[in-house]
Amino acid sequence: MLLENKVAIVTGGAKGMGRGIALKFAEEGADVVVCDIDLDGCLSVAGEVEALGRKALAFRTDITNKAQVDEMVAGTLDDLGTVDVLINCAGGVPGTHGSGATGTFTEEEWDRIVAINMKGPWLVSEAVIPTMKKNKRGRIVFISSMGAVSPVVSVLHYHAAKAGAIGLSLNLAFELAPYNICVNNIVPGPIETTFWDSLMPPGPERDAFFAAVSKREVPLGRVGSPKDIAGAALFFASELSDYVTGQTLCVAGGQPLLAQEATFNIEAYLKERGLL
């Protein structure tokens, strides 16, 4: 029970990697706060956490809205008394209209995607830091993207924001180290979650795509799952990483070990099939 009696907030916890992290933490003894813009999903995951014998709270939270973030953290403190761990998992490119390459999106789209992926994690971190400072302990984990450090397709606003979140985390790690607050990053490789549904619905086409990515892009030869990310998050959230801060861990099956010219061209694959 690596997180026995700890309280963890997981943003973006209604599905995908966030759900996987929430359930792994509950299995390891944590009470979990699930927040997302999808309230029904939050309630569902909270029910799964409670079925594992832990306390759970569910909040509909837009992380770009400071008032909603503050309300979620205040509610957590009222009901559970503290915050030990924050997982900044919420993000993505919901509702985008362009491909993310130059000339395909507006200034407003840039601002929206940067707000979701960089401003939002900053707001949530700011909201929990006072409690962690008071306790003289805490763990903050940012979920970034392989595109932030080794892109194979151009999604400028999303990848730039995820790279900015890494910069934010490194500065927080430096600033908060005297308070025994460790701040680290996870960079996922290709992970099969609902993130892909808007690009490519589940089915033979997606199976073929992931098989090609696995063969050409991932040295371990498979696409990852939320469970793979949850294991890394557990390491950073627990006492196993007491002497680790300011680090970025690629959980990507060996990416980006392969030479750039040998990698699978995801952008070309999607364009050939009219999916981008």
Quick: pLDDT tens for 179-225: 999 999 999 988 777 766 656 677 887 778 778 777 778 888 888 89
Give pLDDT, residue 47. 98
**Closest among 47, 45, 44, 33 to 79, alpha carbons compared:** 33
Element (H, E) at 124: helix 120-135
Per the structure, the complete domain to which residue 63 belongs is given by 7-192+224-253
In a domain, 264, yes or no: no
Residue with tokens 């999903």: 41
In a domain, 200, yes or no: no
CB 238 within 8 A of CB 182: no
pTM for the predicted model, two decimal places: 0.88
Residue 163 CA to residue 182 CA, distance in Å, equals 19
User: Can you state the angle between helices 226-237 and 16-27, rounded to 10 degrees?
Assistant: 50
Residue 203 CA to residue 186 CA, distance in Å, equals 28
Give pLDDT, residue 270. 60
In a domain, 267, yes or no: no
78 burial class (0-12, 13-18, 19+ CB within 10 angstroms)? Answer: exposed
Which residues are marked as active site? 158
Taking the chain (276 residues) in consecutive chunks of 10 residues, what is each chunk's mean pLDDT? 97 96 98 98 98 98 98 98 98 76 85 96 98 98 91 84 96 98 93 68 77 80 90 98 97 72 54 59
Which CATH number does the domain housing residue 150 bear? Answer: 3.40.50.720
Give pLDDT, residue 262. 45
How many folded domains does the chain comprise? 1
In a domain, 240, yes or no: yes
Give pLDDT, residue 143. 97
In a domain, 173, yes or no: yes
Structure tokens of 179? 């308070």
In a domain, 87, yes or no: yes
In a domain, 114, yes or no: yes
Structure tokens of 64? 């770009």
In a domain, 104, yes or no: yes
